[in-house]
Amino acid sequence: MNNKMLVAYFSCSGTTARAARTLAEASGADLFEIRSVQPYTAADLDWTNKSARSTREMGDETCRPAIAERVLNMDVYSVVFLGFPIWWYVAPRIVQTFLESYDFSGKTVIPFFTSGGSGAGKTDAVLHRCCSSATQWRPSKRVNGGISKEEWKDWLASLTY
């Protein structure tokens, strides 16, 4: 299999987007933004409001927000870096939509996440259930703040894929 790489990411505040762009530059990977058909507003993201969209979505394990666009050539990628913020100790439901939209069999998926303070929680276990057992996974990596291209390169050098 080739070793063409993709950085796919979901970001609302721009933090994960910045990390994803720097990772794509450091790795030479293509970049794809996972965007919702219905964009998230500030009110949607107010985690202190029990009726906010993000709170409702995360409270429903079957929720799968629709994605605005597809990766048209997913079959050419052997490695997919998957970036997202942590919501309620897990990846946002739209990340599950993304994973369930493609066949990742034989591909290596390497999650990375941003968080204001929490760790990965159940993220890895939840995401693994979205793909076939033929998907190769690496443990998720927490990246906060301004991770540099050099820091990404050091991490990339430590991986096998």
Q: Residue 13 maps to which CATH number?
A: 3.40.50.360
State pLDDT tens for residues 21-65: 999 999 999 999 999 999 998 888 888 888 899 989 888 989 999
Q: Give the residue from 140, 81, 72 showing the smallest Cα distance to 102.
A: 72
- Residue 126 pLDDT greater than 60, yes or no: yes
Give pTM, 2 decimals: 0.93
Q: State how far the Cα of 109 lies from the Cα of 74, in Å rounded to an integer.
A: 12
Residue 69 CB burial class (10 angstroms; 0-12, 13-18, ≥19): exposed
pLDDT tens for 78-103 read 999 999 999 888 899 999 999 999 99
In the predicted structure, residue 2 carries a pLDDT above the cut 70: no
Q: For the chain, what is the domain count?
A: 1
Domain region containing 146: 5-158
